């Protein structure tokens, strides 16, 4: 066992597990998405997909999930980056601040839900202090509440990822930039940003994963049939699963997988491009 | 110089206020765990319960009227079924954390040592799987558990958890950054793959392994969807399910239970914060 064969053994356990628990069953999903009944179904081509694309609930869920991703991911990358840059400056108690930002990670979701429900209730604490009467759970602003929850949960970890990346930039580059009289902004774009590129890419992926996981909180807060603006793709899939409409669910799962695949392929292409650029420098 | 110090002072103040807002929900959970059941019912019943009409605002309490350990006592001493659920959570989360980290570390090594077209394609597949919301794998998980006969047993949760591709992606990214010089030196000395993995990659990855383990632990400790789909028996449910379904009668217990539930996470966090801070991505660059 030399060369590739040797290292292939390392992949084997994971590969077998993923194959058995994720890939093979996914084959069944593909099959379901193409037939009209789970048992002894007839092949119906793309009918399930066509039906899905004219399904109002699916479209609503897809739209809301799209909006959530489009807003949450950039914020979950940019805010922590800014925070990390601030934490680089000469201010006291840096590590305590970092710990405070990280603390939401370890709070059990269930207690977050309790606190959030009291905070954002129509007669809740937030409205009391703001003097407003917003029904956070049933209005167009609901998405704002979810965004707040998402950022609160994830900003801390992303911030320390950036902090670590910033700390790893060799001092000499920064000293040189200082000698050249480059201001903070210029230093950021010419010196720091190229070094941060891999971390930014990584944080984008982590943010995407987290955006998908925030459904858990949304669902616990508002149940299976939330206000329209909070109805996510996952709600649709969850509800479809419960009504055992496997064909519809499978078609939705497959479509989502394709969209995600395309998104990741695009991201990876960008990453490879960036890698090449830094190598050439 | 003075101006800069003033500016940094303002910045510090803003960050400190933000930091306080970040810890506030945690503090509130802890404070409220010392409230008596009746005070909780009186204070929050309207917001958390059936949603009856309220005239007054519900304000989260930062100071209880009377502090009491009664909730903790009830939880720890008088309700074995909750402790059973806590234990269930441990039974799911600990093996998944350890074994998923181990399986993933091996796989990550396989991916980053000899990158080939095929492996890159497989890695891409892993990445897509990682990003899928749980609802996509829900049907596959459900089907395979029925096939294997693991449905409604702890294996229905454990097996997909152990082989979940999440950690593979993180660890591969990390290992790719371990400087090649180490490898070349080891290979010159005639080290085989197993030795390189054990003597070079694992020690280099200690922080990353710990960090990944923490992320997995936090995630499965809070799992909700998997048990709901794959488990029917009440005795097998983890505490996260019970906490998330808490109803009016048990509201008083909710905060105390949440605090107890938070303790393992807290210990892990305190023990490993510097590993998290050493970062997942920066590892080998220095």
Q: Cβ neighbours of residue A2 under 8 Å, at least 6 residues apart? A: none
Q: What is the pLDDT of residues A237-246, one digit of tens each?
A: 888 888 888 8
Q: What is the pLDDT of residues A159-218, one digit of tens each?
A: 988 988 888 888 888 888 888 887 888 888 888 888 888 889 889 989 998 998 899 888
Q: Which domains does chain A have, with CATH numbers?
A: 45-280 (1.10.3720.10)
- The pLDDT mean for chain B works out to 83
Angle between helices B206-221 and B166-175 (to 10 degrees): 160
**CA–CA separation, B139 vs A250, rounded Å?**
8
CB contact under 8 A, A22 and B160: yes
Chain A residue numbers with beta carbons less than 8 Å from the beta carbon of B165 are: 14, 18, 22
- The arithmetic mean of pLDDT across residues A39-54, rounded, is 84
- Residue B206 or residue A37, greater confidence: B206
The answer, yes or no, to whether ipTM is higher than 0.90 is: no
pLDDT band of A22, cuts 50, 70, 90: confident
**CA–CA separation, B202 vs B195, rounded Å?**
10
Structural domain boundaries in chain B = 2-68, 90-285
Q: Cβ neighbours of residue B200 under 8 Å, at least 6 residues apart? A: B178, B182, B183, B186
**CA–CA separation, A218 vs A227, rounded Å?**
11
**Domain B90-285 CATH (choose: 3.10.20.740, 3.30.2350.10, 3.40.50.1980, 1.10.3720.10):** 1.10.3720.10
pLDDT band of A15, cuts 50, 70, 90: very high
- Helix, strand or coil, per DSSP, at residue A224: coil
Chain B contact for A265, CB < 8 A? yes
Q: What is the pLDDT of residues B8-59, one digit of tens each?
A: 888 899 999 999 999 988 888 888 888 877 777 777 766 665 555 555 667 7
**CA–CA separation, A164 vs A166, rounded Å?**
5
With a cut of 70, say whether residue A106 has pLDDT above it.
yes
Inter-chain contacts counted by CB atoms under 8 A, chains A and B:
293
Q: What is the pLDDT of residues B49-83, one digit of tens each?
A: 555 555 566 777 777 777 788 888 887 887 788 88
- Residue A109 or residue A277, greater confidence: A109
A205, A216, A233 member nearest B225 (Cβ)? A216
**CA–CA separation, A215 vs A240, rounded Å?**
16
Chain A contact for B26, CB < 8 A? yes
Q: State how far the alpha carbon of B33 is from the alpha carbons of A86, A96, B36, in Å.
A: 35, 24, 8
pLDDT score for B159: 92
- The pLDDT mean for chain A works out to 85
Q: What is the pLDDT of residues A253-267, one digit of tens each?
A: 889 888 888 988 898
With a cut of 70, say whether residue B142 has pLDDT above it.
yes
**64-93 in chain A: CB under 8 A from chain B:** 83, 86-87, 89-93
| One-character DSSP codes across A84-137 | HHHHTSS-S-HHHHHHHHHGGGGS-HHHHHHHHHHHHSTTSHHHHHHT----GG
């Amino acid at each position: 066992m030399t060369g590739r064969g040797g290292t292939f053994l390392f992949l084997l356990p994971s590969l077998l597990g993923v194959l058995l628990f994720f890939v093979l069953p996914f084959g069944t999903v593909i099959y379901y998405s193409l037939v009209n009944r789970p048992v002894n179904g007839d092949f119906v081509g793309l009918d399930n997909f066509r039906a899905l694309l004219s399904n109002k609930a699916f479209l609503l869920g897809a739209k809301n999930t799209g909006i959530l991703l489009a807003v949450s991911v950039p914020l979950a990358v940019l805010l922590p980056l800014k925070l990390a840059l601030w934490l680089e400056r000469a201010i006291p108690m840096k590590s305590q601040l970092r710990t405070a930002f990280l603390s939401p990670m370890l709070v059990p979701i269930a207690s977050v839900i309790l606190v959030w429900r009291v905070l954002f209730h129509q007669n809740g604490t937030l409205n009391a202090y703001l003097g407003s009467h917003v029904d956070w759970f049933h209005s167009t602003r609901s998405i704002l509440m979810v965004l707040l929850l998402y950022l609160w949960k994830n900003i801390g970890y992303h911030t320390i990822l950036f902090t670590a990346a910033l700390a790893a930039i060799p001092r000499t580059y920064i000293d040189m930039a200082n000698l050249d009289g480059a201001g903070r902004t210029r230093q950021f774009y010419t010196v720091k940003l190229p070094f941060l590129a891999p971390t930014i890419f990584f944080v984008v992926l982590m943010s995407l994963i987290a955006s998908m996981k925030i459904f858990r909180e949304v669902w616990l807060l508002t149940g299976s049939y939330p206000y329209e603006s909070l109805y996510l793709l996952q709600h649709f899939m969850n509800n479809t699963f419960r009504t055992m409409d496997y064909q519809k669910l499978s078609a939705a799962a497959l479509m989502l997988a394709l969209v995600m695949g395309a998104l990741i392929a695009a991201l990876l292409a960008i990453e490879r491009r960036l890698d090449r650029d830094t190598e050439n420098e | 110089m003075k101006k800069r110090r003033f500016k940094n002072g303002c910045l510090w103040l803003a960050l400190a206020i933000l930091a306080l807002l970040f810890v506030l929900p945690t503090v509130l959970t802890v404070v409220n765990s010392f409230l008596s059941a009746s005070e909780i019912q009186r204070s929050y019943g309207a917001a958390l319960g059936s949603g009856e009409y309220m005239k007054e605002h519900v304000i989260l309490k930062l100071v209880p009227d009377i502090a009491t350990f009664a909730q903790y006592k009830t939880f720890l001493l008088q309700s074995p079924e909750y402790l059973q659920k806590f234990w269930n959570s441990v039974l799911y989360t600990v093996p998944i954390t350890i074994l998923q980290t181990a399986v993933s570390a091996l796989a990550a090594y396989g991916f980053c040592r000899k990158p080939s077209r095929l492996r890159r394609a497989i890695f891409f597949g892993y990445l897509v799987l990682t990003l899928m919301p749980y609802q996509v794998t829900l049907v596959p998980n459900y089907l395979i558990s029925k096939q294997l006969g693991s449905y409604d047993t702890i294996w229905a949760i454990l097996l997909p958890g152990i082989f979940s591709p999440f950690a593979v992606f993180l660890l591969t990214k990390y290992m790719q950054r371990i400087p090649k010089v180490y490898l070349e030196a080891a290979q010159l000395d005639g080290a085989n793959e197993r030795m390189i993995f054990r003597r070079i990659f694992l020690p280099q990855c200690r922080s990353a392994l710990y960090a990944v383990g923490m992320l997995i632990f936090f995630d499965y400790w809070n799992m909700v969807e998997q048990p709901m789909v794959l488990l029917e028996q009440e005795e097998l449910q983890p505490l996260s399910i019970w906490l998330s379904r808490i109803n009016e009668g048990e509201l008083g217990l909710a905060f105390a239970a949440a605090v107890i539930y938070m303790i393992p996470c807290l210990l892990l966090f305190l023990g490993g914060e510097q590993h998290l801070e050493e970062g997942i991505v920066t590892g080998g660059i220095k």
